[in-house]
A and B are shown apart, each in its own frame.
Chain A
Amino acid sequence: MSTGRKLVISTVIVGLIVGHAIPLVRGREHWPFSNYPMFSSISGPEFSELRLVGVVDEDGEEIELPAGTYLTPFDAPGFRASLPGALARHGDDPEAQEELLGDLLELYDLRSAGHGGPRLRGLRVYRYAWALDPRGEVQARPSAREFILDYDREGRVSR
């Protein structure tokens, strides 16, 4: 190997080290480099997350909408992480929120041939909460559910 080539490769190797050090020091991700913060915070027994549900009929019957089934290419972890940020960005703008949820309903419709779900009248966003008990059972139901947003097919958003 020539010395020049070794220098180039050595620079790349040092770049890889520095590239990984920066996110660790700054506490921020610079993809494809990261400080890999997943699971790094201490979890308390209270846990909550936003969930999107579909409104099926006039009585308000709802179905869960697992993203990996109904909103592909989102998968469940991706959608779970993305939804709060997307809603927060449009927090003070009802029109933007209406557009966001309208687009999600459109995505649901676009995937309907694949998932075979019912035609929805609208979408709702809830905050689900769980009281986690490590020595408890598998948790099928949340301990609390807080209504956040409602969107109907006519484009009305209510809180």
Chain B
Amino acid sequence: MRTCVRAWNTQWFGPASPWDLGVCRILFYGMLLALYSPVRFGAWAEIPGGFWEPVSVVRVVFPGQPSAAALSWIGNGWLVALLLSCLGLATRPSTAAAFVLGALAVGIRQCFGKVYHADGIVVLTLGILALSRCGDALSVDSWIARRRGRPPAGPSGEYRWPIRAVWLVMALIFFNAGMSKLVHGGIGWVTTENLAIKLAGCTIVGRNNNSPWMAGLVAQYPMLCRVSAASAVLVELSMILTPFIRWARRVVVPTMFAMQIGMAFLMVGTGFLPFFVVYVFWVPWESLFARSRPDSSAPPELLAGRTGPSGSSFGSG
């Protein structure tokens, strides 16, 4: 029992510098802001009421289809919270607001008969960061704290678990996707012409935002399709190892990323964009930065926190 507790603590709460989490915070919220700024949230109120089929998260707040004004307030409030969270200004309340408003702003488009599968991870990551101390480094809050004479944040488990929890969420998502293929399709998902036919479906003009010829080209090679299908299931299932095993992070995550790029071109167009934002949590930012600045002219916060393996490194245990 004690060994299990120790292993659990090491996995989630081993000391890590606040720097990686700070970089992830800036990139995650910043990219979400860029991605969702052009969205007119109020427009969802104009969708015919006959399509209204709310998911439970939204139904709690809006049993009926919300008004354009309410949606605009939520959407614009969310964008402001994303900006504040990115800057690290009033980080705890702004990340909490980004989570609550984000669950509604992102949730609203799930309420018209289609669940967008790249959106769930965004909300779950917002929730994880809302619980974290992601504003302890590389933030306006930390700058103000230093001006008031407080020492910079040192290594702590507080900076390790949020990154690993995001890893876990991504791993579980892909594991579920792989399992669903085995449960619904069985081994035939790999051994039949299934993937080739799916790709042929993507050649139907007007169905996707991508170039149909590319899917058509791949579909013409049945063996390539079978190997791709087998690889897809294998890599998706292997993702479950990545939060816990170093080599899996080094091999499986980049492979998964490349696979999603391929799927974006062949099948789903821009549908994965929100998903790609979350990949920033897999990058060992601190190591990369330290490697690119061998003269140690790194920012003071980095140097202050650089005492052990960081939480988001591919290489850390």
Contacts and interface: CB of A to CB of B under 8 A. Distances in A.
Interface in A76-130: 76-78, 80-83, 85-86, 89-90, 96, 99-100, 103-104, 106-107, 110, 130
Contact of B197 (A77, A110, A132, A138): A132
A103 B52 CA distance: 13
A132 B200 contact: yes
B288 interface: no
B180 interface: yes
Contacts of B203: 136-139
A17 B173 CA distance: 10
A110 B165 contact: no
Contacts of A100: 48, 50-51
Nearest to A66: B206
A6 interface: yes
A73 B47 contact: yes
Interface residues of B, number: 83
Contacts of B57: 31-32
B55 interface: yes
B50 A139 contact: no
Given A31-B110, A73-B43, A139-B205, A9 B115 contact: no
B115 A31 contact: yes
Interface of A: 1, 6, 8-10, 12-13, 16-17, 20, 23-24, 27, 29-45, 47, 49, 64, 66, 68, 72-74, 76-78, 80-83, 85-86, 89-90, 96, 99-100, 103-104, 106-107, 110, 130, 132-140
10 contacts: A9-B165, A16-B124, A27-B183, A35-B179, A36-B117, A39-B267, A42-B184, A49-B207, A76-B209, A138-B212
Interface of B: 8-9, 12-13, 39-40, 43-44, 46-51, 53, 55-57, 103, 107, 109-110, 112-117, 119-121, 123-124, 128, 131, 156-158, 161, 165, 168-169, 172-177, 179-181, 183-186, 188-189, 192-194, 196-201, 203-209, 212-213, 216, 219-220, 222, 225, 267-268, 271
